[in-house]
Amino acid sequence: MLNENPSPTREDEGPRATVEPAQAAPRLSTLYFYLTGDCNMACRHCWIAPKFHNSDRSEKALPFDLFKKIVGEAKELGLTAVKLTGGEPFTHPDIAAILEFLKEQDLGLTIESNGVAITPDLARLVRACKNPFVSVSLDGSKESHDWMRAVPDSYERASAGIGALVSAGIRPQVIMAVAERNKHEMASLAHHAKSLGASSVKYKEFPQNRN
Ligand code: SF4
């Protein structure tokens, strides 16, 4: 039987370009936010080396509305977690609202902090987030820590921040900057961190030219 409406053949269609399917882009998983350029410490080894005010309030903070916009757009690309650092993220003037927002968004949370501005209320907000992991700096003895951080009583204040986290149900990681002057304190720092309730200790080499 004769086909009255034959389908066009390749020859009928003439020359054509073949377009390969685009390779799928990898999904975005984690975003790092340098929440602020400010910090309440003045560490000798600070790599961003700003002129800090040693204040618990930030003047160089990422606006909260912009933060929310970035997170919203990133979630469309697959975002599942954020890492907050700085400067000192807990000096951000909207840090409480940021933590509540991250909880609402069901995003995993990692924070690097010097611990000084972590209050019991903020620690509870961190604990309410998904899979919170917090690292806090502690550089050996009080004498060594206060020398490294260049702010009096920073050792007691960082230890109090760790205590607030532990009371809220978070066992933070302690990070020690190891220099010539405190390298003999690595073992004692580990014991101290354990006694405070930390889950682990990480050692980082202090830049040798600043010992
Ligand atoms: S706590 Fe971190 S950001 Fe703040 S001065 Fe020290 S190294 Fe710099």
* 103, 171, 146, 52: CA torsion to nearest 10: -10
pLDDT tens, residue by residue, 127-170: 999 999 999 999 999 999 999 998 999 999 999 999 999 999 99
The CATH homologous superfamily for domain 30-205 is Aldolase class I (3.20.20.70)
Mean pLDDT of the chain: 87
46 lines ligand 1 (CB under 6 A): yes
88 lines ligand 1 (CB under 6 A): yes
Give me the pLDDT at residue 21, please. 54
| Whether the Cβ atoms of residue 138 and residue 159 lie closer than 8 Å to each other | yes
Structure tokens at 127: 């604990």
Ligand 1: which atom is nearest the Cα of residue 114?
1
| Whether the Cβ atoms of residue 56 and residue 113 lie closer than 8 Å to each other | no
pLDDT tens, residue by residue, 19-53: 555 567 788 999 999 999 889 998 988 877 556 66
Distance between Cα 174 and ligand 1 center (Å): 15
Q: Is 90 exceeded by the pLDDT of residue 118?
A: yes
The pTM of this model reads: 0.85
41 lines ligand 1 (CB under 6 A): yes
End-to-end CA distance of the chain, in Å?
94
112 lines ligand 1 (CB under 6 A): no
Distance between Cα 41 and ligand 1 center (Å): 6
Ligand 1: which atom is nearest the Cα of residue 40?
4
What one-character DSSP code corresponds to residue 107?
-
Determine the Cα–Cα distance for residues 118 and 96; give it in Å rounded to an integer.
11
Domain extents for the chain? 30-205
pLDDT (mean) for 7-17 = 46
